[in-house]
Amino acid sequence: MRRVLTIAGSDSGGGAGIQADLKTFCAFGVYGMTAITAVTAQNTKGVDAIFPLPPSMVARQIESIMEDIGVDAVKTGMLFSEDIIRAVAQALCRWPVEYLVVDPVMVAKSKAVLLEERAIRTLVQELLPLAHVVTPNLEEASVLAGFPVQNLRDMEDAARRIREKGPRYVLVKGGHLPGNEVTDVLFDGKDFTYFSGPRIETPNTHGTGCTYSAAICALLALGYAVEEAVAEARRYMELVITHALPLGGGFGPTNHLAPLFLRAGLDPQEGGRCW
């Protein structure tokens, strides 16, 4: 079984972060492991509190996994602080991995800040050069590229600018653009690949960025090429958003195991036994 590590924050509401990543790994049949960077108190309405772990503890979690179990692919999510980013980068330099997916999480859907402003430079200088794929949304791409990303041409320009900072592939996600179609742009330093599909109208999209990057990471571990991994991850995202769960009073979570429930002939929103 392929081994996949997520380095991210814990979401007490279960829809994003470590919890979303593990559910996604299960859906793809890979063995998921975690290095928790911060504990959050949050629900579908927002983030109430963030408690970052000591950077040494984050690094030790990574090292413990590497020393014994090993990994086939790694993804990062919420890293929160400059010191945690540096500790993660140093650990990944000591234990190099072929496939590192960096989801540059900066702000939650509730607008809670998940990455300190002074940490952005450290993310760019120390982590992006290690990345196989980086997956910014429009807001994150704007910060990383240094200009507003407001249309498809901007997405292409941002992908070029971000790739100059070191990652092998840049996937700029277009979900925040208006319109009935959602287009993501993948850049490998030479060519652009475009992935488009109909917008699914639902407020229940908490954790979509975490889930998307976790799916790409799992598929890379399974041997998919990057273009194939993104295409397959998008198909997965269409299912988990279509069957998203109307829980709580804010942005409900996606339904990470919807494909398995459907295959078992069960209602994805009801769940239940499927083994």
Q: Kindly list the catalytic residues.
A: 173, 205, 207-210
DSSP-derived letter for residue 253 is: B
Whose structure tokens read 């100059």? Answer: 164
Are the CB atoms for 254 and 240 separated by under 8 Å?
yes
Asked whether 61 and 34 are in contact (CB, 8 A), the reply is yes
Strand 3-11: give its sheet, edge to edge. 47-52, 31-42, 3-11, 73-76, 100-102, 133-134, 169-172, 181-187, 192-198
Burial of 98 (0-12, 13-18, 19+ CB in 10 A): exposed
CA distance 198 to 39: 35
Q: Three-state DSSP class for 216? A: helix
Q: In the numeric block, which tokens belong to residue 22?
A: 């593990």
Residue 196, both tokens: 């488009």
Residues facing 192 on adjacent strands = 187
The residues pairing with 115 across neighbouring beta strands, listed in sequence order, are: 80
